[in-house]
Structure 1
Amino acid sequence: MNKAIITVVGQDTVGIIAQVCTYLSRHHVNVLDISQTIIEGFFNMMMIVDYSNADVQFDQLVSDLEALGDGIGVRIRCQREEIFTKMHRV
């Protein structure tokens, strides 16, 4: 299984989750877990996904999600799970 962590942060607007999940579904990326909160109008979401069956390369997935975020006014970051885990060890 190839897991990645996707984070989405920005001003809350209608359709953020729908647009991110539509992109992932279109490219055969499975959402394993998702958490989202809205605090004083700021949207924060974290997803764990499996990109084993994706029809795009991982680097393309990363750049497409960044571009999607730019288009909807949020910051989307996608990292391989092992990189994310190593960066955030306490």
Structure 2
Amino acid sequence: MKQRRAVVSVIGKDQVGIIAKVTNILADNSINILDISQTILQDFFTMMMLVDVTGKENLEQLQQQLDELSEEMGLKINIQLEEIFQAMHRI
């Protein structure tokens, strides 16, 4: 089975617990993080993760959980299949 990957992006005001809460949702859904990059510019937080979603037919339930966290913490969190992400960001 070919590995299926997705990109998770998190943007918002820096605060305690962002990484912990996002990665807990991923762990609860048995999703492995393949790569992670995060940076803070003044108090603006950004994080990109490449995750393995092999075997996950539908990402809607996961996006719903991330949306709930977004609302709770005042963040913007998205998950997109890698091929869609690459197609949207091709020059």
Residue type of the alignment partner of 2:82 = E
| Number of the residue aligned with 1:27 | 29
| Number of the residue aligned with 2:13 | 11
Q: Is the 8 A contact 1:12 1:43 kept in 2?
A: yes
For structure 1, list consecutive stretches of 5 or more residues without a partner in the other structure: none
Question: Which residue, 21, 38, 41 being the options, matches 2:40?
Answer: 38
Q: Is the 8 A contact 1:31 1:48 kept in 2?
A: yes
The CA RMSD measured in Å over matched residues stands at 1.3
CA distance in 2, matches of 1:53, 1:17: 24
| SS of match in other structure, 1:5 | strand
Deviation of 1:53 (Å): 4.4
Deviation of 1:16 (Å): 0.1
1:21-57 deviations in whole A, cap 9, x for unaligned? 0110011001000000000100000000001245x83
For structure 2, list consecutive stretches of 5 or more residues without a partner in the other structure: none
CA distance in 2, matches of 1:30, 1:53: 12
Tell me the percent identity.
45
| SS of match in other structure, 2:12 | strand
TM-score relative to the length of structure 2:
0.91
Residue type of the alignment partner of 1:89 = R
| SS of match in other structure, 2:48 | strand
CA distance in 1, matches of 2:73, 2:47: 14
> How many matched pairs?
89
